[in-house]
Structure 1
Amino acid sequence: MTMGASFKSFWKNYFNFTGTATRAEYWWMVLLGGILAILWVVATVIMAVFAGLSPANEKMNIWHWLTTLSGGLILWLVVSALVFLAILIPSLSLEVRRIRDTGLNAVLVWIVFAIDILSDAFGSTGVLNDIVSLLILLILVFPTDKLANVRMIGKNQR
């Protein structure tokens, strides 16, 4: 699967939490998302610097920062928030489909997904979050149906 095909599949399967996603489909979108995130950060920093928002300005507190934002920067941040919201659901869908593709049984797919969401939402730092992230990364790397016949967790085991 190419990056273009992965991108089309990403949007085509916007609300598809029941299918599967190959490793290529998942990792092409991760790569594309990483590249776009880097470009977004660079563009945001450049816009902030041109707007006069320097972290070196010690007198600037959050209220001063909010009241001195330019219209262009406000528009950029609003559009950025809308784009984030637009890709949130298909990103979650893609992750669930990728976990399903590894061969975990349906209950464990949702348990892994819930643990991932909860650890990101409530524990952005700490060893437990690191362990959860590492385990999920390992699951996402497994080939198709690698876990399907594993006792107690595979979809072919009852």
Structure 2
Amino acid sequence: MLVAYKKFWQHSFHIKGVATRAEFWWAFLVNFFFEILFQAMQYLRAFDFNDHPSARVGTGNPHMTHWLFAGGDNSVFANTFAILAIIFMLATLIPKFTIAVRRSHDFNWSAHWLIAFWVTRFLLFLVTIYELILLVVNYDDGHVTASMANFEWGALALLIFFVLELIEWGLLAKKSKRPNRFLANSTPTTNPDDSGDSNTDSAELEGTTTSNETTAK
């Protein structure tokens, strides 16, 4: 796991070569863990820990407790994780794309389909943000019907966004393929991810060698 995650960062700007399923999914799981952690910490904004008994006068420092953990924009703890979540999302954006490209290369597919998926999802994300802004504006102006329409279009765009993401993950789960045009040395025995296929290819290669030796004798 640590080796795979190290490669994830080391090869951040590498679109050549391949990435095995193990390398891709270990990096995916570690990133997913951090994203869930940051998102969970942001939900502290919805609570006001100043009402907890430990924050009351006579049981500690109520001012410090409120400053650190109070709900809303005054929560230093929650706001810190919100900033970390944004930084982490931006920092992993390019490495996520490049490792997906290398994963596509590993089963001998060009990355054109992946680029189309990412561009489409980016446009859907912009549509979602646009509809969300209009929803707030129309709701504040009392245009309930228009705001509901904005909500429906935004929800539809977001749904399609996640459906495309699930389809992408499903495609990236394909087995490695050897020989492979994206490998400099495309030998069928150098696939650490699909050991079963490698063993089969090795056995076939060994059988062919034995047959050649017998013929020569």
TM-score (norm 1): 0.67
Deviation of 1:126 (Å): 5.0
Partner in structure 2 of residue 87 of structure 1: 92
* 1:14-33 mapped onto 2 (5 Å cutoff): 14-33=12-31
1:125 to 1:147, Cα distance in 2 relative to 1, 3 A: farther
Asked whether the 8 Å contact 1:98–1:140 carries over to 2, the reply is yes
Indicate yes or no: 2:143 matched with 1:142.
Answer: no
Q: Which structure dedicates a bigger proportion of its chain to helix? A: 2
CA distance in 1, matches of 2:10, 2:27: 13
* 1:58-73 mapped onto 2 (5 Å cutoff): 68-73=73-78
Comparing both chains, which one has the higher relative contact order based on Cα–Cα distances under 8 Å and sequence gaps of 6 or more? Answer: 1
Unpaired segments of 5 or more residues in structure 2? 48-68, 125-156, 182-217
TM-score (norm 2): 0.51
Indicate yes or no: 2:70 matched with 1:51.
Answer: yes
1:72 to 1:88, Cα distance in 2 relative to 1, 3 A: same
Unpaired segments of 5 or more residues in structure 1? 54-67, 150-158
Deviation of 1:138 (Å): 3.2
- Count of aligned pairs between the two proteins: 128
Q: Deviations over 1:4-24 (max 9, x none)?
A: 111111111011011210000
Asked whether the 8 Å contact 1:6–1:28 carries over to 2, the reply is yes
Q: Deviations over 1:62-84 (max 9, x none)?
A: xxxxxx44444433322332222
1:122 to 1:147, Cα distance in 2 relative to 1, 3 A: farther
Q: Deviations over 1:105-158 (max 9, x none)?
A: xxx41x21222212221234355873x445423321111127969xxxxxxxxx
Asked whether the 8 Å contact 1:102–1:139 carries over to 2, the reply is no
Partner in structure 2 of residue 78 of structure 1: 83
